[in-house]
Amino acid sequence: MDSPNLTIGRLARAAGVGVETVRYYQRRGLIGTPSGAAGARRYGQAALDRLRFIRHAQRLGFSLDEVAGLLELDEMSDRNAARKAAQDKLREIEEKLTRLEAMRQALAELVRCCEAGPGAEPCPILHTLSGTEESPHS
């Protein structure tokens, strides 16, 4: 049985989040608000497990909207839907990595140009960022 014995503060600490985060998740419908008098609300293990699920999913890159969808899935019967969500997220992360690598290469080239260029020329980094034209060295 899920004995409700955690205050919102204890629940938040146990999950590694702030009290306002718990309240925000409640407003978003990601976790329930326990019944009881305003000062006597208590949370059980299920709420803690749900918070930990949310935090873990966020660390894997899922947005709160995506987490809401994941929370609706059944661990035993929704394997295909969970796999598709994970595959979609993996594809999104791989696309971001590709864009980040292109950004890294462009910045590395600008730094090399800045280090190698004579002091009489405009700074290639600032010149490129100004948007007046592409870097003369790219």
Domains of the chain (ranges, CATH numbers): 1-61 (1.10.1660.10), 73-138 (no CATH)
By C-alpha distance, which of 35, 8, 10 is closest to 24? 8
Phi first, then psi: what are they for 79, rounded to 5°?
-60, -45
- Look at residue 135 in the predicted model and tell me its pLDDT: 47
- Look at residue 8 in the predicted model and tell me its pLDDT: 93
Would you list the DSSP string of 28-66? TTSSPPPPS-TTT--B-HHHHHHHHHHHHHHHTT--HHH
Phi first, then psi: what are they for 43, rounded to 5°?
-110, 150
Sign of the C-alpha dihedral computed for residues 117, 120, 125 and 131 taken in this order: negative
- Look at residue 29 in the predicted model and tell me its pLDDT: 95
- Look at residue 38 in the predicted model and tell me its pLDDT: 63
Running along the chain, 138 residues long, what does each successive block of 10 average in pLDDT? 80 96 96 77 93 97 97 96 98 98 95 82 87 57
Q: What's this model's pTM, rounded to 2 decimal places?
A: 0.78
